[in-house]
Chains A and B, each alone.
Chain A
Amino acid sequence: MRSHDDIRQMFPDLLDGRLAGPEADEVKEHAQQCAECRDELALLTGLRGIEVPDPGNIFWNTLPKKVLAAGVRPAARRRRIVSWWSFLGPLPAAAAVAALVLLVSRPVEKTQQPYQEALFSDPLAVAMMDYSLLTDKDIPLIDAEIAPEELAGVSEDMVEEGYHRELVSLNYAEVELLDEALQDEQQKGG
């Protein structure tokens, strides 16, 4: 014979259909005789009635792929990039900033066609980038305006493809907002 408190702890199992036979009978019988337990069982039944909105099939069908796309890259690939990055020695942050500057501020048309292709097909291939495009004017600007922790962030973004992960993880509403923002800034496609 179970105690009142033990029986109460079994209500979730009863509601979930995980209790059967004599155990289920014992709990139901107790609930019939005990007003407190009867109320509690009714309350728990009411709790289970709260609906969860369905985000829709598009969400369910795309989530597994989005997770894998946004998740960590295989260890081997990560090691290769990290070792390449460390080859640069003390310059990774500067290299990342240089790449960023090339991407956002320098006209791409100044470069040769193979470089352009590489830039768009694999932006992480920073080895392809022509750092000679940086002028003396660019470098002091970077040094003066970007804090060391931000430089580290840029480096991480480049190495870990944080930018791509971020894009992939956007939901529909966020993509709409981004699109609007880009249009406002006349940067769409830039």
Chain B
Amino acid sequence: MDDDSRAVDRYRAGEEEAFEELVMKYQRKIYAFVYRITGDAEESKDLTQRTFINALGAVRDFKGSSLFKTWLYQIAMNACRNHLTRERRNDIEIEDSLVRDEAGVLVSMVEKEKRKMVKKALEGLPERQRLSIILRVYEGLSCTETAGVMGCTEGAVKASYHHGVKRLKEMLAEQGYEIA
């Protein structure tokens, strides 16, 4: 039994702090995941909170047939899907937070432009391709874990990922982005 499963058991036994520990452990990852899907920092805060509230509501029924992490990503993904469906955000151009980044990071304008292009291209991918890339490349999930989150086979994940990367390259090439 892994640490997460033990924490779930402790919470079920009445130890509320155990769920707090899980929130603290995964909140940054879930926020980053949600942000990469929605591209909106404020919405991502709300969706991150909603993800954990939904998880808390369902944790007593968590069977443990998948990893807690995979299960949590699944909840976050569903929250994002519901949000995007409701808000019909898919067609809206997403504001680039880098423009209003006040952290004072000395990133060259060229680098910023390139990142913006990559970000926009990623947002332009079909949902399944985008999700497979986000989960594999950013969240570091294996093919098996990604398949668990997306509710499909490993083969389908590999295909979505492959087509997504290919399409991304084409989109960036069309915009004159130099990959190397």
Contact = CB atoms under 8 A, between A and B. Distances in A.
B115 A53 contact: no
Given A42-B180, A171-B42, A67 B49 contact: yes
Nearest to A75: B60
Interface string A18-60: 1000000000000000000011101110111111111100011
Contacts of B68: none
Interface residues of B, number: 50
A169 interface: yes
B24 A50 contact: no
B89 interface: no
23 contacts: A5-B162, A9-B161, A12-B137, A13-B140, A44-B165, A46-B118, A47-B133, A47-B138, A47-B168, A50-B36, A50-B122, A51-B101, A52-B35, A53-B35, A53-B41, A53-B97, A55-B31, A55-B45, A63-B49, A67-B19, A67-B49, A70-B49, A169-B53
Interface of B: 16, 19-20, 23-24, 27-28, 31-32, 35-36, 41-42, 44-46, 48-50, 52-53, 56-57, 60, 97-98, 101, 103, 111, 114-115, 118-119, 122, 133, 136-138, 140, 142-143, 158, 161-162, 165, 168-169, 172, 179-180
